[in-house]
Amino acid sequence: MIGGGVIGLTSAIALAEDGFRVRVVRREAAGATTSAVAGGLCWPYRIQPYERAVRWSVRSFEVLSALARRPRETGARIVAGTMAVGTTPGDHAPQESDGGVEDGLAAWYEAVPGLRRARPEELLAGSASGWRARTPLVDMPAHLRYLERRLTAAGGTVEQRTVSSLEEAGRSAGLLVNCSGLGARDLVPDPDVHPVQGQLVVVDNPGIEEWYVRADTGAADTTYLLPQPYGLVLGGTAVEHAWSREPDPAVARAIVARCARHVPALAGARILAHKVGLRPARSAVRLEAERLAGGALCVHNYGHGGAGATVAWGCADEVLRTVREIRDGDLR
């Protein structure tokens, strides 16, 4: 298994708990991955193809909702919130998102228990309409620590080193699972993989108990408030092909100002941290088996954009099914 973010760890757990011997090789500790920076809201965002993404998301919703019964252990909680839009949508789910037409997301809206239209008094200033729901909201640093403990308990091991090529890794493994995220751009190599930079600010929470997100179609600037145990996460940005991991002070000020237009108390909130993550975007998630040049079989699982935590468990199930088919000789 290559990759130690949320995608790699959940895939490793699915395999290890099914009886496979699993060794995770990662370039950096889980706390240094993009997964650790993520806001942690379970909601499909910047991911294609929609039909598969919704199926994976629904499965992850089920798993995370169960884990939310033990929030201190798993980092997952169920929190109410609003997904707002800047223009009034039709009678059903919004027709467009940052990634294009999202007709396929109708299944997601149908799957979320209790999801309903937001009433005008439930919308923050500047939002034309929105959806109300109770969804998993995950403290990602705590969740990643839980995943590592769970993997170890299932007999999996973790090794920190750099992998130079898939062929090299395949020579020492009977089967390779590639969850290298943005690293797949060079490792595969796959030039379709590229970063979508996201910057956020963590502030003292003035009493916000619900999440709020507004991500207008095609916008590089988004607005979200995510109450986490370690502070209120304010966001954010979605800048295509930006590689810097250094927080931009001007961008941080703009993020706080946008959020303060909705919640004025945030204008003077004490800043606890600045964070930047690079979402591993691709025109479509690559989740498929391939025979490498050296003869080893590889299951690719990368390109999840801004929805890694949202689809991780659903993708892990599909990785497990694919590996079982390889084991049983159905894939050659």
Residue 330 is predicted with a pLDDT of 61
pLDDT along the chain (332 residues), means of 10: 97 98 94 94 89 94 97 98 68 38 67 92 84 96 98 97 90 91 96 97 97 81 96 96 97 96 93 97 97 92 96 98 90 52
- Taking the C-alpha atoms of residue 145 and residue 310, their distance in angstroms, rounded to an integer, is 17
Tell me whether residue 324 is exposed, middle or buried, using C-beta atoms within 10 angstroms of its C-beta: 0 to 12, 13 to 18, 19 or more.
middle
Question: Is residue 314 within 8 Å of 328, Cβ to Cβ?
Answer: no
Question: Is residue 123 within 8 Å of 49, Cβ to Cβ?
Answer: no
Residue 142 is predicted with a pLDDT of 98
Query: Which residue stretches of the chain are H helix?
Result: 6-16, 34-37, 50-67, 71-74, 106-111, 140-153, 166-171, 184-187, 249-262, 308-327
Tell me phi and psi for residue 152, to 5 degrees: -60, -40
Residue 86 is predicted with a pLDDT of 66
What angle separates helix 6-16 from helix 308-327, to the nearest 10 degrees? 40
- Taking the C-alpha atoms of residue 238 and residue 221, their distance in angstroms, rounded to an integer, is 6
CA angle 306, 307, 310 (to 5 degrees): 155
Tell me the β-bridge partners of 298. Answer: 176, 290
CA angle 205, 209, 214 (to 5 degrees): 90
Element (H, E) at 277: strand 271-281
What angle separates helix 140-153 from helix 6-16, to the nearest 10 degrees? 30
Residue 128 is predicted with a pLDDT of 84
Domain boundaries 6-327, corresponding CATH code? 3.30.9.10
Number of helices (H) and strands (E) in the chain: give both, helices first. Answer: 10, 16
- Taking the C-alpha atoms of residue 168 and residue 153, their distance in angstroms, rounded to an integer, is 28
Domain boundaries, given as residue ranges, for the chain? 6-327
Measure CA of the first residue to CA of the last residue in the chain; give whole Å: 19
Residue 174 is predicted with a pLDDT of 79
* Strand, coil or helix: 165: coil
Question: Is residue 171 within 8 Å of 17, Cβ to Cβ?
Answer: no
- DSSP states along 199-239: EEEEE--SS--SEEEE--TT-SEEEEEEEETTEEEEEEE-E
The pTM assigned to this predicted structure is 0.92
Residue 219 is predicted with a pLDDT of 77
Question: Is residue 168 within 8 Å of 293, Cβ to Cβ?
Answer: no
